[in-house]
Amino acid sequence: MISVYHYMSVAAILFAMSTYGVLTRRNAIVIFMCIELMLNSVNLTFISLSSHLQNIDGQIFVFFVMAVAAAEAAVGLALMIAFYRNRESIDVDNINMLKW
Amino acid sequence: MEILLFYSVALVAVLSGFLVIRCQSPVNSALGLVNTFFCLAIFYVMLHAPFMAAIQIMVYAGAIMVLILFVIMLLNLGIEARKRYTHGIVWSALASLMVLFGTIYFLKRGRVTGAEGDLTAFQIESIGHTELIGRSMFTEFLLPFEIASILLLVAIVGAVVLAKKEV
């Protein structure tokens, strides 16, 4: 029988893996995709606990996480296009204009 | 049988996640990400949340991935040049391993309590998952729902303003 721990272990592995991706990658779009992966692993935790506790509130929260992820995608990708227009690359090593 | 399906889907999900963080080309990373989203949708179906699986495929694998692929194609990003890592690969690996061990430790130490609500699999099948979600969202969570709509409006305006050449 699959318990809630199985699902949460998968979510933990995905979350840790995408943490590594966020910290090591230099391409801003790949970092963005890793953040989406983190949000998705949290969604998996929400839904598995919601199903285990037999309470629907967790699934409503997943709905809001998805709304925030969609807003983040729109604004984040617009930021990347604006940055690419200035610097001709989206390497995060080049994002140093605010560095003193 | 179900546990076999679970393990195979989990394996595919983790391998695709690995593909996302390791591929040199961003397009390959995006394809790995789509694969992970589909695996998570299968998990949602196994957890008796079919509406969430549909939303996962439509919003994530549909809308957000199309947006990401569109930007990748628009910026014409090639394969990332292999430069020396400036981000401390060892420290990053240590940090992510600490995250992993921390979560697994708390998962093993704590115990999830029993059922708290009254949402059973039988109820989901008889009433319908969409109807249950809608009932809860438009009564109990109406204010957060309206705030989310304002957030999306702000995101639309912000994206248009940011992506314009001259404001």
Q: How many CA atoms lie within 13 A of A7 on its CB side?
A: 27
Residue A24 has which token pair?
Answer: 């090591």
Kindly state whether residue A99 falls inside one of the protein's structural domains: no
CB of B27 less than 8 A from some CB of A? no
Residue B13 has pLDDT above 90, yes or no: yes
Work out the mean pLDDT of chain B and round it to a whole number. Answer: 87
Residue B142 has pLDDT above 80, yes or no: yes
pLDDT value at residue B80: 65
CATH number, domain containing residue A24: 1.10.287.3510
B1-79: which CATH number, 3.30.300.30, 3.40.50.2030, 1.20.120.1200, 2.60.40.1080? 1.20.120.1200
CB of A93 less than 8 A from some CB of B? yes
Kindly state whether residue A100 falls inside one of the protein's structural domains: no
CB of B79 less than 8 A from some CB of A? no
Residue B14 has pLDDT above 90, yes or no: yes
CB of B45 less than 8 A from some CB of A? no
Give the domain extent around A11: 4-94
- Amino acid type, B30: A
- Amino acid type, B142: L
pLDDT value at residue B75: 86
**Residue A17's pLDDT band (boundaries 50, 70, 90)?**
very high
Spell out which residues of chain A touch residue B48, defining contact as CB-CB under 8 Å. 51
CA dist B48 and A4 (Å) reads: 13
Q: How many CA atoms lie within 13 A of B110 on its CB side?
A: 12
Lowest mean pLDDT among A54-63, B21-30, B34-43, B73-82: B73-82
State the pTM of this model: 0.91
CA dist A8 and A32 (Å) reads: 23
CA dist A22 and B52 (Å) reads: 26
Is there a contact between A25 and A16 (Cβ–Cβ < 8 Å)? no
Which whole number is the average pLDDT over A71-76? 92
Number of domains in chain A: 1
Closest chain B residue to the Cα of A63, Cα to Cα: B52
pLDDT value at residue A8: 92
Kindly state whether residue A80 falls inside one of the protein's structural domains: yes
CA dist B127 and A68 (Å) reads: 28
> Out of A44, A57, A73, whose CB is closest to B64?
A73
> Out of A2, A56, A63, whose CB is closest to B119?
A56
CB of B13 less than 8 A from some CB of A? yes
When computed from its CA atoms, the radius of gyration of chain A, rounded to whole angstroms, is 17
> Out of B3, B113, B137, whose CB is closest to A60?
B137
Kindly state whether residue A46 falls inside one of the protein's structural domains: yes
Shortest Cα–Cα distance, A19 to chain B (Å): 6
> Would you list the domain boundaries of chain B?
1-79, 120-167
Measured from the Cβ of residue B123, the count of other Cβ atoms closer than 10 Å reads 15
Kindly state whether residue A9 falls inside one of the protein's structural domains: yes
Answer yes or no: do A12 and B72 touch at CB < 8 A: no
CB of A95 less than 8 A from some CB of B? no
Answer yes or no: do A32 and B92 touch at CB < 8 A: no
- Amino acid type, B44: Y
Answer yes or no: do B17 and A14 touch at CB < 8 A: yes
Which whole number is the average pLDDT over A50-55? 88
Residue B57 has which token pair?
Answer: 């495929």
Q: Which residues pair with A27 in a beta bridge?
A: A91
Is there a contact between B152 and A71 (Cβ–Cβ < 8 Å)? yes
Is there a contact between B163 and A82 (Cβ–Cβ < 8 Å)? yes
Across the A:B interface, residue pairs with CB atoms under 8 Å apart total 227
Lowest mean pLDDT among B7-21, B83-97, B147-161: B83-97
- Amino acid type, A37: L
